[in-house]
Structure 1
């Protein structure tokens, strides 16, 4: 379930709806962090989208708010698209700027479809849609659930792991030793999925790029360095990432990951 919430008033819901279309359309490659020319796909670091909100439970509030702003020559301003679990709790949110109602349709059976134009800083990952739906029923309780996602969709798992606000998840306490299961690290997104769970348990987040990983190593998103990291099945990552050039001469992507960890005091043992 989704809802539209006014940015300036957390209590104001413009409507609840059962589905959203044309919103989760991003296809980011985690390797783009090593491409200085890679962008977000939108001018000025953002992009305009036109999601369709399907089947609002309270279409009157949404229709009235958006039409009222439109009639007055303005727009409803900034809004949040919230995602809810089956109990109705908010588990994640996407910020959307300058929302305007472009089209309102009422289909047979009373189903309403609202097409809203809005501005996003970046496109939500296509792979995140199914992950949000799954986590809305139950967040992962075991590691490696992300392995079932094909390469190219694991960035969506990273996005949800970073944004998820489930009330039962807690960051791991600090230990002297952690084990990274590297058997499934076949691309860069796989590494971030795996280290997130190694450090913070099933569905855990511990960075989605080198800058974020470095921040996590300082604390605030789980255990802070120094600690010892035993990287099991490291040969899999060596085959997948060891030959990929990074933005530094004579350094592979794998070299930069290990360097980032060791710079913060992590003892990396490649097993």
Structure 2
């Protein structure tokens, strides 16, 4: 379940809807941060989308907000697109700016479809849609739920873990030692899924790129360094991450990850 909430200081609710289409359309390969030819700065420039909201339950409120009386019919507004669990509780949000109502139509059976034009800071991950649906029914209670996702969709898991407002977003207290299960690390995104759960439990987040990992080591998203990290099944990471080029002389992706951890005072113990 989704809803629109006006960014007006009063958090005016503009209606709920059953689904959203043409919104989760992006894909940022976690490996791209190591590729100097990748368009890694593209998300900072923002993007325009035309998502379709399916079945608003308060179409009058939505149309009045986006086509206000006395307005030009295309006066833009800023909104939050909220995601809800099965009880109606908000579990995450995306900010959309300069929103206008481009089209209003009725599908077969009378379902309303509102097509918007809006600006987002970055494209929502394509793989995040199904993860949001799953977490709306039940947030992760066991580690490695992300392993069932195919490579290429785990970036969506990381996006949801970062934005999730429920129990899975809570952080663990600081300890002297943490254990990273490396048995399922089969791409770069897998490492971030695994270390998020090692540090913050099932569905936990602890960075999705080197810059975010470095920030987390200061304590913003969980325990701060220094601490000891016991990396179990490290041979899997050595085979996988160690073979990925980092476009640095004599350095692999694994090298840069370990250097990031050790630079902030983490003692990495390969087991």
Q: TM-score, normalised by structure 1?
A: 0.95
Aligned partners of 1:247, 1:120: CA distance in 2, in Å? 30
The answer to which of 150-159 and 88-97 deviates more is: 88-97
* Other-structure match for 2:50: 50
| Separation in structure 2 between the aligned mates of residue 43 and residue 259 of structure 1, nearest angstrom | 26
2:88 corresponds to: 88
Cα RMSD over matched residues?
1.8
- Cα drift, residue 75 of structure 1: 2.0
Q: CA–CA distance in 2 between the matches of 1:259 and 1:10?
A: 46
Residue number in structure 1 paired with 2:182: 182
**45 and 151 in structure 1: CA distance in 2 versus 1, 3 angstrom threshold:** same
* Structure 2 CA distance for partners of 1:44 and 1:239, relative to 1, 3 Å: closer
Q: Which runs of 5 or more residues in structure 1 are unaligned? A: none
CA distance in 2 between partners of 1:4 and 1:180 (Å): 38
Q: Which moved more, 1:55-64 or 1:43-52?
A: 43-52
* Alignment coverage as a number of residue pairs: 271
Displaced runs of 4+ in structure 1, greater than 6 A?
none
Flag structure 2 segments of 5+ consecutive residues without an equivalent. Answer: none
The farther-off stretch of 200-209 and 77-86 is 77-86
Given that 1:161 and 1:204 are in contact with CA atoms closer than 8 Å, whether structure 2 keeps it comes out as yes
**Cα distance, 1:258 vs structure 2:** 0.3
Q: Per-residue deviation at 1:111?
A: 1.1
Do 2:19 and 2:54's aligned partners in 1 also have CA atoms closer than 8 Å? yes
Note the C-alpha offset of 1:11. 2.8
Deviates more, 1:185-194 or 1:158-167: 158-167
Matched, 1:226 2:226: yes
- Aligned 8 A contact 2:43 2:123 in 1: no
Q: Deviations 1:142-197 (Å, cap 9, x if unpaired)?
A: 00000000000000000000000015752111111111000000100000000000
Rate the CA distance shift 1:106–1:78 in 2: closer, same or farther, 3 A: same
Q: Which moved more, 1:35-44 or 1:243-252?
A: 35-44
**Which residue in 2 is equivalent to 1:76?**
76
Q: Secondary structure of the residue that 2:195 maps to in structure 1?
A: helix
Q: TM-score when scaled to structure 2?
A: 0.95
Alignment partner of 1:171 is 2:171: yes
- 8 Å contact kept, 1:69–1:75: no
Equivalence for 2:28: 28
Equivalent position of 1:143 in the other structure: 143
Determine if contact 2:76/2:98 at 8 Å carries over to the other structure.
Answer: yes
- Which whole-Å deviations, capped at 9, do the CAs of 1:70-126 have from their partners, x for residues lacking one? 942552321111101111111111111111111101223331000001111111001
